[in-house]
Structure 1
Amino acid sequence: MREREREKKKYQLLSLRAPQLQPLPAQVLTAQSSMAATACSSLSLRALRAWRRIRQRIEKLVLLDWEGRIRD
C-alpha cells in the first residue's frame, strides 16, 4: 500500500516537473537565444579574468621563488 502511494507521489512530482511542450513563437526563441549568448559571453569573460588573475599570481610566486634562489 505504501509503495503504491510512493509511486503515485513520485509520478505526481515528475509530472509537475515535466515541461509543457508547446511551440514557442519566434520572438521568444530569439530573445532566449540572445539571452543565452549574453550569459555565455559574460561567463567566458569572467572565466578569462579569473584565469588571468590566477596566472598572474602563479607568475609572481614563481618569480619570487626564482629571485629568492638567485639571492641565496
Structure 2
Amino acid sequence: MRPNPRTADYPEGSPVRLAQEEFNNTYCLLLFLLEDTFNGSPSQMRRRRGDVRLEVPGPGSDEDAER
C-alpha cells in the first residue's frame, strides 16, 4: 500500500477507488455512531452495528494486485 493513499489517486470507478469510498463512508458512520454512543445514545450503535463491518483485503488478494 502506498503511504497516505488518496481517493483522487485512482480513476473513478476503479476497484481500488470504490473500496476506498466504501471504507471512508463506513468509517464516517462508525465515528458518528461512536460519538452518538458516548453522548448518551448507545441504542443507535446496537441497531446499526451490522452496517459498520469493515473488510480489508489482505496481501495477495486480487485488489492488492491492482495497486
Give TM class, smaller chain: 0.3 to 0.5
Q: Which has the larger radius of gyration?
A: 1
Relative CO higher for 1 or 2, CA cutoff 8 Å, sep ≥ 6? 2
* TM-score calculated relative to the size of structure 1: 0.39
- Identify the structure with the greater helix proportion: 1
